[in-house]
Amino acid sequence: MVNVEVLRVFTDDQGGYGNPLGVVLDGEALPDPRQRQKLAAALGFSETIFVDDIEYGRIRIFTPAVELPFAGHPTVGAAWILARELGRPLESLETPGGIVPTWIDHETYWIRGALASTPPWWHERLPASSDVGQLAGTLSPDQDAAQLWAWVDEGAGVVRARTFAARFGVPEDEACGSASMRLAAALGRAITVHHGKGSVIRAKPGPPGTADIGGRVVSDGPASATGTKSSALT
């Protein structure tokens, strides 16, 4: 039996919403990538991570359809849960996409990732935040990895966004860190992204070729390895 813990990453200030993340702390219990992919598909979260070395923060990331070299909400979630397990924060995580620095600012866990390691998200700006909320999907069937967004308050850097990712086996991603990283880098400024149904992502440009994302994380406890998953709290 593989033990899976469910986190919610990018919650609001009250611990509601957030993007569910499956975590297998004992990655050695399921070393075969094919079995990992099967479990990720059964769980059905946008991503599931497998921790291959807690001390060094070595992780692998799987969507229901493919393995990713890097993704935003899994690395923020990994930073949180490994700090809990070790009793201290890690300075970095090891992913197939490279070393990912991590740090904590009050209750917000931050990571810095290379933009070249993120999926090639398409961004489309809509006229108003209400337009984003009313979306039933992307504007075109060709947009199978897209973040659609609008300003809520441009002066304050507040954004409304939703992300659709059929390419990765995820019809809609509740809170997409890597897309928000790329958006912050493209805008050249720090932003607060109100994502999905109620999640909150903080993102800002980093040193050249990188961007930072941060958010709050909570645990919903264990999930069944046969596919039963906890629901995000609202």
Report the phi/psi class of residue 130: left, alpha or beta, with left for phi > 0 and alpha for psi in -120 to 50. alpha
Catalytic member of 5, 47, 94, 154 = 47
Distance CA 25, CA 153 (A): 39
Residue 141 has which token pair?
A: 């069937």
| Catalytic residue flag (residue 172) | no
Q: Buried (b) or exposed (e) across 179-198, using 16+ Cβ within 10 A?
A: bbbbbbbebeeebbbbbbeb
Cα angle: 65, vertex 69, 75; to 5 degrees:
100
3-state secondary structure of 81: helix
Question: CB-based contacts of 213: which residues, under 8 Å, 6+ apart?
Answer: 72, 76, 110, 111, 113, 177, 178, 180, 181, 184, 201, 202, 203
Residue 180 has which token pair?
A: 């928000």
Q: Which helix (H) or strand (E) holds 78?
A: helix 72-86
Residue closest to 76 by CA, chosen among 176, 173, 204: 176
**Catalytic residue numbers, as ranges:** 47
